[in-house]
A and B are shown apart, each in its own frame.
Chain A
C-alpha cells in the first residue's frame, strides 16, 4: 500500500522521517502560539518554499488541503461573528499552514519510513511495548484491509442480488461473522507459522 506518499528525489524526500517529524511538530507548535499576522505571513512564505522544493503535483497537494477548506467555510463566518475578522483570518491561516505542512510530510515520506520512525520512538518504552509485535500487527492490518473490503463488497452484492431488501443490521451481521471467521483463520495461520515462538 503506497498511501498518500508521492515518490520523488527532492531534499524533503531524502530527509530522515524522524527529523521531518520533529521539525513538523516544532513548526505546528510555533504557528499555534504565534500572535502576529506578520509572523504568519513569514511562515506562509516558508511553507510555500518548502512545497516548491518538494515539487509535488498540485492535484495531490490540493486533495490534502481541501477537507480543511470545507471546515473553514463553516468556522470562519462563526469566528468573524464572535471574534472579529482578524482573529478569523489568523485562525484560518494557522490551520491551513499546519495542515499543508503535515500534508507535505505525508506526501514526501513513505508509509514504511513513518512506521520505522514510530518503532524508533517506541524504543524507550520497550519494557511495556513490544515494538516488533506492534510492527507485525500494523503489517497484518494493512494486509487485512483488502480482505475486509472484499467481504463488505460481497455482502453488499449478495444483498443487491436478493433485491436490496433487509435492514442494515441484517447486512452487518454477515459482515461481522465473516470478519470473525477471517480472524479465526488468520489466528490459526499465525500460530501454524510460528507467531508464538
Chain B
C-alpha cells in the first residue's frame, strides 16, 4: 500500500479553522473517516489529491509532496465525489468514462477497450450511449466509479459516495467498493460500509479524536453523535 502522510496539517476557511494540526500516516488497505458535518473530514480527503492546499503543513502520497507534484499524485489517486451529477462532465456515459483517459494518451483501440471493460464491470454496457442525465442516482454513482477506475488508480478517495443514494443503491455502490483491490480512503456516514475496514479515523472540530480499528472507533463516533443529541 502507498503511504499517505499528513504532517502537521492545518487549514483555514476564512475565520474558521477546519483542519487543526493533523498528523497521520495512512498505509492500510481500507481507511474510513467519519465525523459530523464541518468536522473537516471532506477537507482532509480533498488534500490527498491536492483539490485543497493546506494553509500550513505538508501532505505527501507515496513520497511525493502535493505542493510540488499534484499532477503526478492525481494520476495515482482517483476521487469519487458525493454528488455524481457534479462529477460527470461529458454528455453520454461512454464519453464520460473516456474523458478520464484523455491524459493517458492511449491509442484509440486501446482506450476503447479499456472503456468497454470499465462499463462492463459496472453493468453499464447497455447504457453506454445514453445521456448521463437520464441515469438513475445509483447508475450515476456507478458511472462516476467506472470513470475513476478506468484510469487504474492505485488509491481511491471517496467523499460520502453513498450519502445521496437510496438504501438499495447505497448497498449496491457499497458492494462495489468492498470488491475494489485498490487502497481506499472513504469519508462516510454509512457506518456498515466501514465496519469491514482496516482502520477508522474520527474527526471532530478539525482534529482527530479517535484513530483505531473500526469497532472501537465507531463506538467513539456513535457516542459522539449520541451526546450531541
Contact = CB atoms under 8 A, between A and B. Distances in A.
Contacts of A154: none
B69 interface: no
A194 B103 contact: yes
B91 A185 contact: no
A154 to B, nearest CB: 12
Contacts of A194: 74-75, 100, 102-103, 151
B71 interface: yes
* B interface residue count range (under 10 / 10 to 19 / 20 to 34 / 35 or more): 20 to 34
Given A188-B51, A189-B86, A139 B91 contact: yes
- Most interface-central of A1, A189, A194 (chain B CB within 10 A): A189
B49 A193 contact: no
B131 A193 contact: no
Contacts of A189: 81, 86-89
B133 interface: yes
B198 interface: no
Contact of A193 (B71, B83, B85, B89): B89
Contacts of B88: 143, 189
Given A1-B91, A1-B131, A188 B81 contact: yes
B90 A140 contact: yes
Contacts, number: 64
A196 interface: yes
A185 B83 contact: yes
Contacts of A185: 81, 83, 86-87
* A interface residue count range (under 10 / 10 to 19 / 20 to 34 / 35 or more): 20 to 34
A146 interface: yes
- Most interface-central of A146, A190, A193, A197 (chain B CB within 10 A): A193
B95 A139 contact: yes
Interface of A: 1, 139-140, 142-143, 146-147, 182, 185-186, 188-197
Interface of B: 46, 49, 51, 71, 74-75, 78-79, 81, 83, 85-91, 95, 99-100, 102-103, 131-133, 147-148, 151
Identify the 7 closest CB pairs spanning chains A and B, nearest first: A185-B86, A146-B133, A194-B103, A197-B103, A192-B79, A189-B87, A142-B91
